[in-house]
Every structure is written in C-alpha cells, then in structure tokens.
Amino acid sequence: MRHTLPDDRKISKEWPLGSIKEIQKRRYILRKTALEIYLMDGSTLLFNFPDGDLEEISSKLIRMRKTRCPYLVYYGSLDPRKIIDKAGITKKWMNHEMSNFEYLMQLNALSGRSYKDLTQYPVFPWVLCDYSSETINLKQPKHFRDLSKTMGALGSEQRINTFLERYENTDPFNPVPKFHFGSHYSSPAIILQYLIRLAPFTQGAIQLQSGKFDLPDRLFYSMEESFRGATEEISDVRELIPEFYYLPDFLINKDKLNFGVTQTGHRVDNVETPKWSKHNHYRFVALLRQALESDIVSKMLHNWIDLIFGYKQTGKDAEKSLNVFYYMTYEDKVDLNMLNDPATKVSYEAQIVHFGQTPSQLFTKPHPQRLPSDAILNYKIIADPMADIRVYRPPQKKNAAQLKQNQYNLEPKALIRMKIINESRMIGLRKDGSVSYYKWWSAVGNPEIASIGPFKCGIEKEKNIDFGKAKGM
C-alpha cells in the first residue's frame, strides 16, 4: 500500500551524530551525489544530494570528528583507493588477517556497492561449478568454478563465439561503444529474483512485474538451474550476492507464497539445493561459505577481483577477458547533467536503473595473490594474548649466542611459539620450556559444550622439559 504526503508537509528523522562510525561517497544513477553513513549499530543510511551539497556535508562531518562524531573513522581521504592503501586492507587479506568474505565485502563497499541500492547491490562470485553430484569434495579443484573467467567466458564455445561476434559486428555507424553482453552480472531484477522470498523484496519483485510474480519458469527456484542458465544462456551472465554465503533464510519460502507451477509441472516453493547439501538450506550455505574460504578459492580470488574491481574491468584488458558490458553501466561514460531534453534524460536514467551498474574501479594493476595458509602459519609467531608479551622475530643470520643477549619482558609461562598439529590440536612452547597441548572440542554430541558455544578450546595436557637433563643425555 502506497502512502503519499501533501506537498506542503515535511517529514524528518534524526540520528545522533555520536553514532556515526564511517562515511563513504556513493553514486546515484551514475551521478556522484550520494553519501552512505555507517552507524555503530551496524545499520547504514543512504542519502542523495542532487543539489550539490555532498562535499559540504561530508566535510562538515569529518571536521566534527573531535567533537560530535568521536567514533568516525577517517583515513585522511574519502578516495576508496587511498583508503585501501592507508587501511592496509589488501595486505590484511593476503596475510589471512581478514577472510575472503570480509575482504569482498570491503571491496564492494569501497567500490560503491550498497545494500541500500538495488542498482549497485554487493556482488559475490559463484565459487562452485557442481550443483548436481551426490557428494562434493571441497579439496578437489574440479568442483570449483574458474575464477579467472567471467560468467560469459564459461560454457560452450558456441556461446562464447556469440559474444565475440556481437562485439566485432557492432554497427560502425552506431555511436554506441562495442560490448560483449547485453545483460549485466548484477541488476535490480537479478537481486529481486534472488531475494523474492524475503520482505520487502517480495513486494519489489511484484512491482517490477506490474503487480504479479514473474512466470514460474523464470523465477529463482533451483541452484542447478540458475548456474546452468548463467553459463549456457546468452542473456544471463549473473553472479551471486553475499546472502548465499551467510543467510539460508532467503532460500526458504517461509511465508508460503504462491509462485505458481512451471511448464514441467513443478511447483515453485523453496529453492532446490544440491544433493550434496542433503537438500538442507542451512547445510548448503555453510558448505558454500566453507568453499569460499578454502585454499582453492583463496589462490584464484585475485583473478575475479581483477575482473570485477580491477584492471580487467575496462579497456583492452577487459576486451581480451570477454568482460565488456553496455557502456551505460560504467561510471564517467554518461553525463546526465549535459542532457537538455527531459525525455532523453528520463530514458537514460531508466536504462541505467534497470540494466545495473559496474562497480567503481579500485585497482589499475594486477591484484596480488593471497599467500597460502600453511605459509602464513609457518611464518607467523602466534602469542598468547593474555600473556601481555612483545613478540620479536630476529634476523635469521643471528646465532644462538647473540639471541641470548636480547632482553625480553616475558612471563615464564608466556607462549613464544605455536604450531598446528591437525584440525583439532595445537602445540605451544612457553618461555620456561614447558609445552602445552591445546585441543578443540566440538559441541556436536556434547550437551555441556553446546550450552557454551559451538566448540570449546582448552589445554589438553602439559609437559615440562628439563633442557639441562636433555643436554647431558
């Protein structure tokens, strides 16, 4: 139900300045006129300033950091590329101080993607390519999608050639720049299809189709069918959204909505998940997240970042990578303020809104690859945070005699070295020479631990080593 207000009636809402945590500039229909405000409670506010007040308002908020906005984080600039550099975001990800999911969320936010804007909703990759097998092994590369290729570059040679021919056979008398794809990997229609089972997206999907749900065969009802469409259909090159990696609820038709019956007689209800998930939506999302954080994806993810946020997004590198979309999806390709004809401007805005928008480019050089997890564990010294110690890693050339001259302010029981033995055990060496064996206990089948959390970590046993005795033996 729609509510309208009289022209002379104003509505307002207030938020305390002290709750502001971060601000980031945004685009609104390709215009750089919006600002997203992140609050301490995790919520965000998206404002558009069509009259050109963006710079003034953002500058005022930054100046109030020492007075009314004490929690506002500011890195000396609102330029996303400078923020990435000064905050050390990429370095943290490479060193496994940030998960793949967290890093992708950061890149989405810095490139202008927002949960508040369906035309620029956060985009995530398909990481698996097998949605039909009975079982799946997340240590086998054959089950994973090639992240060095766009969704359009996957599939049959015939499909790929169709995209290449479209690019090469563009009408030379048409001023529209060449493009491979007539659709985008992220658009309001795709987002509403994915989230159709959740309010308020349900109503959005109905409004998009003039007051009713789309045809059942075109709805999102099966993971296998959706991946097939994105790798076989000419008009479909969609990627995923973050919810696939943390929110099983959007796959379940809890409100018992009537989506109708497909031409094959299948009633659309909950989203059909693969056999390897045992058709359990919670298990499916958990396995997808596990796949996203796997070493296999970690080794390839930089390639996908190059395509979506990096140097393969535009120019010759985009052309070589089969990654060129319709020109209206890119920032700085259309200046709506230069259009004098109102009808033309409305037409352009409608195309931009419905077709989707490409993220702002964050990297102009190849993105570095993430270090393997085993290399990180062998390199880093993991210290006990309760010991209040200072960790020191000497150059390799120093010998043992020189090391003894270094002064440490360590408690006798301070952990100075830890090593992972297997998936459930670690071993730690303390300053006094004693060794502690740590173990993770799962809550599965253990009610006592389940009352505390999903697992419990503690010392399994300890062993004292007499180095003097060992030397004499």
* pLDDT at residue number 45: 93
Scan for tokens 């060129």, then name that residue: 324
Specify the DSSP class assigned to residue 213: P
Residue with tokens 């007040």: 53
Stronger pLDDT, 90 or 465, i.e. the higher one = 90
User: What is the pTM (predicted TM-score) of this model?
Assistant: 0.77
The region of weakest confidence among 23-37, 144-158, 314-328, 375-389 is 375-389
d(CA 437, CA 458): 9
Token look-up 């730690």 returns 428
Residue 180 pLDDT greater than 80, yes or no: yes
Q: Nearest to residue 237, comparing CAs of 288, 163, 295, 300?
A: 163
CB 357 within 8 Å of CB 119: yes
CA distances from 191 to 110, 123, 166, 243, 262 (A): 20, 10, 26, 11, 21
Which three-class secondary structure state does DSSP give residue 190?
Answer: helix
pLDDT at 336: 79
* Mean pLDDT calculated for residue range 245-251: 96
Contacts of 18 (CB under 8 A, 6+ apart): 68, 69, 70, 71
What whole-number distance in Å separates Cα of residue 109 and Cα of residue 309?
11
Q: What is the mean pLDDT of residues 436-458?
A: 73
Tell me how far apart the alpha carbons of residues 167 and 156 are, in angstroms, rounded to a whole number: 17
